[in-house]
Structure 1
């Protein structure tokens, strides 16, 4: 075999070409969650056609199959199914099942017709691709599974020694359906979203991004819709996590049980695995930061210095793939342990729910350890994530729109109206509108406003209470306007009730 191969024989991905390392062989290597460069460094370009990752069985496999159909020169597929992440996500297993078991007509999670892979792992192929072409691909490409990088590289080298085989057909490409989002005006920087559970908060996050997020190019051959600096606050996530029924979250309990261990537990250094959050927290910097945090809070329960870092200064170097989760800050206020996590980049549709549940499990672990080792009996406080780039990738826009259509109205209707800024009692006294501002819970009057103009009163309250919830502020505006109408027309006014005409 010579490495002097014509340029025309090089693998040419029709979709997401920048995510594939291309060569001139006849074998495509699917690396799953293993870093593709870790495989490529063991091979010569003439030994492989392409090397690339595949993360999702519902979105990634279809794009891979499209690229294989566009490159019938590929006759072999080596699937590296090596890591815990691969087993948890299931994309490699599902891809192997496509070649082994085939596919059938079905429906996607958004209700669209598709080809469903016959597998225990749910995987979709775009319905636009002809079934005959899929069957020809299955019959023409020989598939191999590898459990380690060394095994994958050895298999590719052995295949490269075989006599070159003619392409199995003509290249075929299919138009890729696109979703064009409608972007409404809104704030680009600095957002606050709160919910009782991770599920409720997630629905609100997806709605906010899909409503006002800016369309930006990504580094991954596509687009995302993005907001900058989004703070999400989860106040009452139950122990063991809340999963709605039916489950509309992008993960289930089995996935989360595996994912939580990646945050809580240390992990050995494995070739091709960039890092795990647990490894960064437990051993990467030469100390166990989780144990350090527990010890600091036991020694000084009021400490504001309990910071865990996952960012290594080497992460800023070129060709590095730095962790998305950068810092974790813990604080005890009024006997509640809160956790704040900062993400430099956050896939809010596919990853945030798992991120949040993993962080909540870490928060629970630290709370329990402090209680077991000290006199403190702490309660669980809020979980806060600050996502500096909060985005949804274009291949999830349709799923996001479907989630909003089915769940957002319900999530918004279930919100409670207990505003931390307090409550307001409105009356008409001595030919003026009188508004008393009271603290939440205790009902202590902290301010009093009076006047004849609803507009002027709204401006005064807004200036003094800038953190008022939007729904509460709109309610106040309506009630004050109603009070002004009652004053002008000499009607009876009672808050939250229709006006009554004086007879």
Structure 2
């Protein structure tokens, strides 16, 4: 704190997410929720606020925000913006207001850890190692107000700035945070393929793959993430009304999804402080309704390979806040409509399930519109997402570990024996192992292999059918070895016995 004439200047020191904040030297902390922080800052002088920052998630963000406030007891006013559809959807602003109004109680967090749980209808947690007395002192020392718009927020912040400086409510308090570096197993860094019947099942497999072999790297946002590059997820059978597991382990629920789908399908007017929505980029950003364009394109030429929608604007290089979802491609093959989406940067833990369900809703909308307006009654094909940077942020690593522990084994135990690479019939004829490769379904013969050496045969088969499933290849290796042993001891061989 420095004194210059009559004005008192305070310095806000953030230990958590320091590069994501705008700093001033006043006594009001401004929490903008999903509203872009610069949209508020441009209406203010640095002397009118202590700090301005965004708050996206109640379960991940509030804990760090409270730690920063404990470190800066000169903050005596807190202005929380709770204005947009995104704010209501995420609930972080509401949960923070509830912390100051209602307080906390000891309970378990979403990862089963003992925590302070905010008394709110929205789940929000604070680390148990933060002293309860410090939290209570903070709650009662800071004056908190909610604002429903940028103009209302600016007016309130300016009125606080008119008041004489107040002494800090205590001394800066810092509580050490424990961090655990995950063990990373060796694995491919580039190019992964994961398939599942539902979005929920595919998501668990994605989280497992990143968590076990992803590279740990610093992010541009004061932290770390674990990342794989170019991860393709194929969802084959998501039901029309979406599958939510019971109990629901996804990071979203049905009511959140309804809001989110409208952000993908519907245009939205430009509002100050609110970034574009995907729907705005698709419907009006480039002066064309691209969803309408691909519907017309496919009705006119059903096997077109150019049913493309783009969300990336060349201007995005200059002004930040560029969309993560960049490119959408639709294709009709064998009367089946598939949708492929490219996401340049993808938070696979918190965002991918909503991204996938929103894209599936878009795929269904296009299928239904084509059916209504033409003679084409297409089946829903797979949804494919290509996440170029597929990552999990360090503040959800423990949630990811817990998800894997509780769900991964159960999902892997549901074995589907149908391999798109086909079936292999193993027999012994004239002292040799004979393997016949047939197509799935119709059973048409497409290949034949013979020899006495099991290892040589399995290598030949895998070289000729590189898409064979790993568990199928392992099974064949075992069966071929059994057949080779039967030849050695002159015993009859029967597959699967």
TM-score, with normalisation over the residues of structure 2? 0.98
The 1:482/1:8 distance shift into structure 2, 3 A limit, reads farther
Q: Which residue of 2 aligns with 1:159?
A: 160
2:27 maps to which residue? Answer: 26
Give the match for residue 458 of structure 2.
458
Cα distance in 1 for partners of 2:320, 2:5 equals 31
Residue ranges of structure 2 left out of the alignment (5+ in a row) = none
Instruction: Report what 1:321 is aligned to.
Output: 321
Shift of 1:4: 8.2
**Aligned residue for 1:488?**
488
CA contact (8 A) 1:5 1:24 kept: no
Confirm or deny: 8 A CA contact 2:194 2:205 kept in the other structure.
Answer: yes
Match for residue 276 of structure 2?
275
In the other structure, the counterpart of 2:254 is 253
Query: Which residue is 2:239 aligned to?
Result: 238
Q: Which residue does 1:369 correspond to in 2?
A: 369
| In structure 2, distance between residues paired with 1:244 and 1:354 | 14
Deviations 1:295-334 (CA, angstroms, capped at 9, x unpaired):
11111111111000000000011x4110000000000010
Cα distance in 2 for residues equivalent to 1:147 and 1:482: 72
Aligned residue in 1 for 2:411: 411
Distance in 2 (CA, whole Å) between partners of 1:204 and 1:113 is: 27
Partner of 1:331: 331
Partner of 2:342: 342
Alignment of 1:137-156 (within 5 A): 137-156=138-157
Query: Structure 2 vs 1, CA of residues 479 and 167 (structure 1 numbering), >3 Å: closer, same or farther?
Result: same
Q: Are residues 1:125 and 2:155 paired?
A: no
1:402 aligns with 2:402: yes
Q: 5 Å matches for 1:466-481?
A: 466-481=466-481
Counterpart of 1:135?
Answer: 136
Contact in 1 for aligned 2:9/2:26 (Cα 8 Å): no
Residue segments in structure 1 that go unaligned for 5+ positions in a row:
498-503
Q: In the alignment, what sits opposite 1:501?
A: none
SS in 2 for 1:28: strand
Question: Which stretches of structure 1, 4 residues or longer, exceed 6 Å deviation after superposition?
Answer: 2-8
Kept in 2, the 8 Å contact 1:341–1:386? The answer is yes
Q: Does the 8 A contact of 2:29 with 2:51 survive in 1?
A: yes
Calculate the TM-score normalised by the size of structure 1: 0.97
Answering whether residue 105 of structure 2 is matched by residue 104 of structure 1, we say yes
Aligned equivalents of 2:8, 2:184: Cα separation in 1: 42
Partner residue, 2:293? 292
Counting only pairs closer than 5 Å after superposition, residues 429-468 of structure 1 correspond to structure 2 as 429-468=429-468
Contact preservation (8 Å) 2:10, 2:27: no
Q: How many residues align?
A: 495
Alignment partners' CA distance in 2, 1:393 and 1:239: 30
Provide the rounded CA distance (Å) in 1 between the counterparts of 2:229 and 2:374.
Answer: 40
In structure 2, distance between residues paired with 1:4 and 1:45: 17
C-alpha displacement of 1:494? 1.4
Secondary structure of the 1:313 match is coil
Answer whether contact 2:423 2:437 (CA < 8 A) is retained.
yes
Distance 1:480 1:4, change over 3 A: farther
| 1:213 corresponds to 2:214 | yes
1:415 deviation in Å? 3.4
Asked whether the 8 Å contact 1:197–1:242 carries over to 2, the reply is yes
Which residue pairs with 2:49 in the alignment? 48
- Report the equivalent of 2:10: 9
How far does residue 109 in structure 1 lie from its aligned partner after superposition? 1.2
Quote the offset at 1:490 in angstroms: 2.1
Please tell me whether the aligned partners of residues 5 and 46 of structure 1 are also in contact (alpha carbons under 8 angstroms). no
Q: In the alignment, is the contact (CA less than 8 A) between 2:419 and 2:472 conserved in 1? A: yes
Counterpart Cα distance in 2 of 1:118 and 1:303: 54
User: 2: distance between equivalents of 1:182 and 1:488?
Assistant: 44
* Cα deviation, residue 461, structure 1: 0.6
The aligned residue for residue 500 of structure 1 is: none
Aligned-pair CA distance for 1:443: 0.6
